[in-house]
Amino acid sequence: MNRQLKFLLEADKLKTVERQTHLADASRRENSAEHSWHFALALLLFAEYAREENLDSLKILQMAVLHDLVEIDAGDTFVYDQNAQNSRRAREENAANRLFGLLPDDQNQKFRAIWEEFEAKQTPEARFASAIDRFSPVLQNFVTQGKAWRKHGVSVEQVEKVVGTELENAPELANFLRLLVETAGEKGFLKR
């Protein structure tokens, strides 16, 4: 239990990791813990749009809760910062080793495997979770009139490239997202 408590207290630090995406009311930037909660809620809401049926809902929610814990050490890597993206995997691997290593061996292995599954995007659950993880920041950027996008000079092409085929596992959401990105470009929330 001591190791689990140590991990839980360490995980609380995720609340201090600021992301580039703003809250929907644009009052401030969200933190990674808020993102993880919002991501988990979106997974529950949009599960019906998954292309594949019989997804393991518990596994997907576990991915939502665990996927960004590595940011405690690695920081949140802005998806449109190519230089930071180049070192992201190594930083996150080191963080995963340290953070999950705080746990008893059985939970270390289980949590690490869930994190790795999400990162690899090879299972239906990981692909759907990844799609929703990409969906949420686009929605939030749209409703804040591109606050983070405009600050960093993000273009329609960059968003389309990042989202790419991620949402093919949720076609209805993909169509909605394409409309958001197109509209964001027309309204000047994104560069053309």
pTM: 0.92
C-alpha 152: how far from chain center: 19
pLDDT tens readout for residues 142-179: 999 999 999 999 999 999 988 876 777 788 888 899 99
* pLDDT 10s digits, 8-20: 999 999 999 999 9
Tell me the CATH number at 71: 1.10.3210.10
Q: How many domains does the chain divide into?
A: 1
CA–CA gap between residue 10 and residue 73 (Å, rounded) = 10
Question: Which residue segment(s) compose the domain that 80 sits in?
Answer: 2-187
CA angle, 44 then 46 then 51, to 5°: 120
**What is the rounded CA–CA span in Å between residue 129 and residue 50?**
10
Specify if 117 maps to a domain. yes
* Residue 192 domain flag: no
- The answer to the question of residue 118 being in a domain is yes
Instruction: Provide the token pair at 85.
Output: 């993206």
CA dihedral (86, 154, 72, 104) positive or negative: negative
